[in-house]
Chains A and B, each alone.
Chain A
Amino acid sequence: MSLVNIKIEGVPYQVESGLTILEAAKACGYEIPSLCTFNHGECNQGSCRVCLVEATGARGLVASCVYPVNEGMEIRISSPKAIEARRRSVELLLSNHNKNCQQCDKNGKCELLHVATLTGAREGAFEGVHSQTYIDELAPGLVRDTSKCILCGRCIARCSNAHGLGILGFENRGFRTFVSPAQNRSFANSPCIQCGQCVNVCPTGALMEHSEIYKVDKALAEGKHVVVQAAPAVRAALGEEFGYPIGTPVTGKMIAAIRRLGFEKVYDVNFGADLTIMEEGTELLHRLTEGGVLPMITSCSPGWINYAEYNYGDLLDHLSSCKSPHQMQGAVIKSYWAEQHGYDPKDVFVVSVMPCVAKKFERQREQMNVNGIDDVDAVITTRELAKMIKRSGIIFNRLPDEDWDQDIMGDYTGAAVIFGVTGGVMEAALRTVYYKLTGNEYGKIVFEEVRGHDAGIREATIDINGTAVSVAIASGMKSAKILLDEIREGKSKYQFIEIMGCPGGCINGGGQPYVKPVFLPNEPDNILDIYKEKRAKALYSEDERQVIRQSHNNKQIQELYEMFLGEPNSHKAHELLHTTYAAREGFND
């Protein structure tokens, strides 16, 4: 590593060569106003011109995000010329921007508004024609509004980095340029898996989740029995919306807040996760012992299911037929739970709080209802839950810790909690499959080999009673594709594969709080590298705190089978808890 000497505002520093001015300035303690706070190589176009500075050796002002430092360079961030230029750049961006900020769902987390404030950009500095606006509200998961788009290209980069998909691209040229799926199609009729990773990186409100808060409001207004179920990954991130450090579990406060929003019952989707393990574990055992289609692949992630249906229609037999945990739990709430409470299922309204936007699509699948009754009626994201809490005047940080409602589906195990992180479903299933095959609990409980918190493939071979079971884990479709192509070519050596749509699993889902360093001054500089690990730790620590850590030892699950379902994979279980898949055309009309 070689060093170069530079000066910022006349003060000498030594920095690594090869850095951009923006990075070098950061190392010296300067945060140059820019829209590159999500740099990470996912925006490197230097096109927005917000981060202009003066630098010797360059003609005119330079975009500090792409211009490298060199020996002897003198940089001026605060010269009147640089300050004026940055303000102009932002004013130009704003001149073609839909400035209805107070109605915008990104308000408070909008990077454009942030740099506008920093640079002192003036309202209406440049008035003129606006580009044509396109709004796509057809897809259940995502909304695209080009009137907010600043053409930074981060969404395009994220889609291809995470999934190798590249659903979004620039279309047309010059003033008529906009970002969209090919042919300016809706996300709904292009091969988009609706994972929402693009929403997480969008600096403005151009890409947002499709909010369903109004559906929840309506159900409450109509006096329905509204039951809320919250997924494990939500508790690991919700606190961030209220100023807690990333990785702070806020389970107790979250339950207290949901209860104070006026819902009848608050359950943990972990009960559904335990149920999933009973069903999926049994399915795996059948396939292993009776020569079923292997490898079996998990089916909890609706983003992954979308990808499979669009791209691997020939491999759908490999998917577990299990519904995802919240759909299973919804089906049980609408049947057994409603019956036990003396309610007509039609008067019961199930709200799932999810780290995910693809779940909004999943709940609307035609396969996700039993006898005409939807398992789940609304899906709101972690971010939407935070919004509901904030608008209700609840002081989240002062809430007491409360516990889940306990009747029928209050129990859950450590195995269920870790569903929220990549490798978690696999580990939970292995704990139960090991028990079923050997009659003994796995001594160490924890299967270290399958743990992780990032994209990429992990694999392990577990010895169960002399039988070697080979497993693999992938998150993000770029990694998944490698495993799927192996299966297609007949070269796969695995019996069981876990695939999650988002890199890192649900903790990094498209509905989770935005991780934008510029709004997180107390987090370390490398927070973008470590936030997944921090959120994963919050879940692993909850697993460790649980007395019961294997799904099959959940007493209420055992009761549910005794009283209602019979046994795992029974006829009743199939009717309520299992589903089917169908190959789909990506560019459908």
Chain B
Amino acid sequence: MTKLSNSSVLKITEICDRYKDEPTPLMMILSDIQNEYGYIPLEVQEIVSKKTNISVAEIYGVVTFYSFFSLTPKGKYVIGCCLGTACYVKGAQQVIDKFSEILNIKPGETSEDGLFTLDALRCIGACGIAPAVSINGTVYPKMSVDQVAGIINDYRTREANA
């Protein structure tokens, strides 16, 4: 099992301490860790368990119950394809399938170079511009299958020039 760096341990301990007076602190702690690190591996859950006296199995259960939490690192660019009803009838499934095909990953997975994570989202409230895709907060309205390759290339070029 990979060991955490001392600074990570301190950071996670600090996050746990933020909520030490809360009667049910687990969701808040996990949420902060998810935001800080992008994922919550078992080693981190063990530290949270020691700090909160909540069993690792229970924490693991919460992490796997909510799709907001992730057990594996997310890519640099998180591609969220909305599959809500409006987007779906406007062809969102074909859009996400295209991302899958080009990146060679399934929804929920991260590309091998660590650049892209593909997520299937439920309604993100942008039905007027369906089908909608959101990449690190930038929203791409009225997506079509033909645009997918171009968008991925844009990000790859951006990375290559960085």
| Chain A contact residues, CB within 8 Å of chain B | 156, 160, 165-173, 180-183, 585-589
Contacts and interface: CB of A to CB of B under 8 A. Distances in A.
A169 B60 contact: yes
Q: Is the interface of B mostly helix, strand, loop or mixed?
A: helix
A588 B43 CA distance: 11
Contacts of A167: 55, 57
Interface residues of B, number: 14
A171 B55 contact: no
B45 interface: yes
B109 interface: no
| Ranked 7 nearest A-B pairs via Cβ | A166-B55, A169-B57, A182-B60, A169-B61, A182-B56, A170-B61, A182-B57
21 contacts: A166-B55, A166-B57, A167-B55, A169-B55, A169-B57, A169-B58, A169-B60, A169-B61, A170-B61, A170-B65, A171-B60, A172-B64, A173-B65, A181-B57, A182-B45, A182-B56, A182-B59, A586-B46, A587-B46, A587-B56, A588-B1
A370 to B, nearest CB: 34
A585 B45 CA distance: 15
Interface string B41-70: 010011000000011111111001100000
Contacts of A171: 57, 60-61, 64
Nearest to A168: B57
Contacts of A180: 57
A173 B63 CA distance: 10
B1 A173 contact: no
- Central interface residue in B46, B59, B61, by most chain A CB within 10 Å: B61
A233 B65 CA distance: 42
A257 B40 CA distance: 55
Interface in B25-48: 42, 45-46
A157 to B, nearest CB: 11
A173 B42 contact: no
Interface string B92-132: 00000000000000000000000000000000000000000
Given A173-B65, A182-B45, A587-B42, A160 B60 contact: no
A160 B49 CA distance: 14
A169 B60 CA distance: 8
Nearest to A182: B60
A168 B64 CA distance: 14
B65 to A, nearest CB: 5
A462 B60 CA distance: 46
A171 B56 CA distance: 11
Contacts of A172: 64-65
A240 B61 CA distance: 37
Contacts of A586: 46
- Central interface residue in A160, A165, A166, A167, by most chain B CB within 10 Å: A166
Given A183-B42, A183-B60, 8 more contacts: A166-B58, A169-B57, A169-B61, A172-B65, A182-B60, A586-B46, A588-B1, A589-B1
Contacts of B58: 166, 169
A181 B55 CA distance: 10
Contact of A173 (B46, B54, B59, B64): B64
A181 B56 CA distance: 8
Given A172-B65, A182-B60, A183-B60, A587 B1 contact: yes
Given A182-B45, A587-B42, A165 B64 contact: no
A173 B69 CA distance: 13
Contacts of B60: 169, 171, 182-183
A589 B42 CA distance: 12
B55 A160 contact: yes
A45 to B, nearest CB: 14
A73 B45 CA distance: 46
B70 to A, nearest CB: 14
Nearest to B67: A173
A162 to B, nearest CB: 13
A589 B57 CA distance: 16
Contacts of A183: 42, 60
Contacts of B56: 166, 169, 182, 587
Contacts of A585: 1
A168 B60 CA distance: 10
Nearest to B46: A587
A192 to B, nearest CB: 10
A472 to B, nearest CB: 23
- Central interface residue in B42, B45, B57, B58, by most chain A CB within 10 Å: B57
A160 B54 CA distance: 10
- Central interface residue in A165, A181, A183, A588, by most chain B CB within 10 Å: A183
Nearest to A183: B42
Contacts of A166: 54-58
Contacts of B46: 586-587
- Central interface residue in B46, B59, B60, by most chain A CB within 10 Å: B60
Contacts of B64: 171-173
A586 B43 CA distance: 11
A92 B91 CA distance: 35
